[in-house]
Structure 1
């Protein structure tokens, strides 16, 4: 439990805080650092999804039904449904935020929405924009928080999977914190306000990580855990293909991108398969 609290806090709140501070020093840091971190974290999360979550969801449901076919089909169905539901929620928030932006600036066309933080730079409507912003980031952080909490379910004294995923999220949330804080700073907001709003956005992942861990420990059952992990896998699948990959291609692409992504996949896969 100590590991869960420590690394969940580190991978969410502290990582976002570090990213916020780095946004204040962005002009002094080479861009290749952020390109490496974003691409590496994408590869690492991909590895965690397919090596850890998919295999564990199949394993628990197969054990419950004592039938590999039924368990696998149910797991795939839940993964698909949860991914679609998160996508629909994402599109709903995106549609609302675009309508809001058009109402306040008819001359500025809406651009790519690969990542929700790009929508929130209208200083004339701070309150409404902030709520839209927090809603979008909540969608982004929900699957990460659930996955983080579940990754600490382990029979060993040291939950290696949870620690690995916390480090992966630390790298990822560092980039998120950097981007979000930079967005608020560029809109003319104060440093304190920008950092505060960025830190608030990290709370869903932190809180849901703790909650999902305790729920899973209270009701340890192959069906329950298998369904929960499948939901986590589907929602994380949405985050990867709807948000992370488009954002990486649009903002952090370089001739080394494939190498950095592959490095993340190889290192995390190796650690998980030890």
Structure 2
């Protein structure tokens, strides 16, 4: 439980760490660098899902729990997407009034962090603690650019820099109770472990293909983003091999 709590806190607080530069940033970063960050984190999450979560789910339960859990993860994210209007943070060039839509965006980002928190919790519930550490690390790396982009968006809506930083940080905080919930449930009911691992993999794969990759290809930097994705993938593979 202590490891799950520590891992979830570190992963969640990565959102705030990513948002930290907003306090010192004078100008917005280029679309090229936004796309590079998004593609790199997509590569990291792809390696974590396919080389850690999916093999662990197979080892614990076999192909049927893997298939059920993975599809449940995908369906859950699909329902979240349909329930919450998605607004493109990266490529929307029109101004958005904060009092009309900014809170909706903050709510959407917060709810999208729920399955990420569950991913960390169920990963720590498995016997392989290395899996929990790797998934927490991967989620943390994904949260950092997300926190930066949310804070940057809020700042562009004339929100105070410190308030933008604080709100972006809080969007990641929901992962902590979700991680503890995921850990608690899978620890009490051990048969849920393979389903939980597969659910986490499905949620991550959905985020990668539905959100991160399309976002990183929205401004004509597809080749640069592709290389960044590959480097992110290799980076995570190196970590898996080392740990």
TM-score (norm 2): 0.83
Stretches of structure 1 lacking an aligned partner (at least 5 in a row): 63-71, 98-112
Which residue in the other structure is 2:215 paired with?
247
Higher alpha-carbon Rg? 1
Q: Secondary structure of 1:232's partner?
A: helix
Aligned pairs, number = 241
**Cα deviations across residues 215-273 of structure 1 (Å, max 9, x unaligned)?**
22233x2x311122222222222211111111122269464322221122123224335
**CA spacing shift, 1:161–1:229, aligned 2, 3 Å:** closer
Name the SS of the counterpart of 1:17 in structure 2: helix
1:235 — aligned with what?
203
User: Closer, same or farther in 2 for the Cα pair 1:254/1:134, shift >3 Å?
Assistant: same
Q: Take 1:81 and 1:88, find their aligned partners in 2: how far apart are those partners?
A: 10
Residue 46 of structure 1 is matched in structure 2 by 46
Equivalent-residue separation in structure 2 for 1:167 and 1:251 (angstroms): 28
Alpha carbons of structure 1 residues 117 and 190: separation in structure 2 relative to 1, 3 Å: farther
CA distance in 2, matches of 1:216, 1:120: 44
Correspondence list, 1:57-136, <5 A: 57-62=57-62, 72-94=63-85, 113-114=87-88, 122-123=96-97, 125=99, 129-130=102-103, 132-136=104-108
Post-superposition CA distance 1:143-167 (Å, at most 9, x none): 21111112223546xx322222223
**Which residue of structure 1 lines up, in the alignment, with residue 9 of structure 2?**
9
**Structure 2 contact 12–143 (Cα < 8 Å) conserved:** yes
Aligned to 2:162: 192
Check 1:163–1:87 CA distance in 2 against 1; reply closer, same or farther (3 A cut).
Answer: same
Moved more, 181-190 or 36-45: 36-45
1:16·1:173 contact (CA, 8 Å) conserved in 2?
yes
Distance 1:162 1:129, change over 3 A: same
Pairwise mapping of residues 26-37 of structure 1 onto structure 2 (< 5 A)? 26-27=25-26, 31=30, 34-37=34-37
CA-to-partner distance for each residue in 1:184-238, whole Å, 9 max, x for gaps? 111111223222221221122222112212322233x2x3111222222222222
Segment of structure 1 superposing worse, 41-50 or 78-87: 78-87
Q: Does 1:178 align with 2:177?
A: no
* C-alpha spacing 1:218/1:252, structure 2 compared with 1 (3 Å): farther
Distance apart, 1:3 and its partner CA: 3.4
CA distance in 1, matches of 2:91, 2:121: 25
Gapped regions of structure 2 (runs ≥ 5) = none
The separation in 2 between residues aligned to 1:138 and 1:119, in whole angstroms, is 23
The alignment's TM-score, normalised by the length of structure 1, stands at 0.75
Residues 77-131 of structure 1, C-alpha deviation per residue, up to 9 Å, x if partnerless? Answer: 332243123213212211xx7xxxxxxxxxxxxxxx45599699643625x741x
Q: Which residue in 2 is equivalent to 1:110?
A: none
Q: Which range moves more in the overlay, 236-245 or 162-171? A: 162-171
C-alpha contact (below 8 Å) 1:150/1:212 kept by paired residues: yes
- Alpha-carbon distance in 2 for matches of 1:7, 1:163: 7
Contact 1:17–1:199 under 8 Å retained in 2: yes
Q: Is the 8 A contact 1:151 1:162 kept in 2?
A: yes
RMSD over aligned CA atoms reads 3.0
User: Which position in structure 1 is the counterpart of 2:138?
Assistant: 168
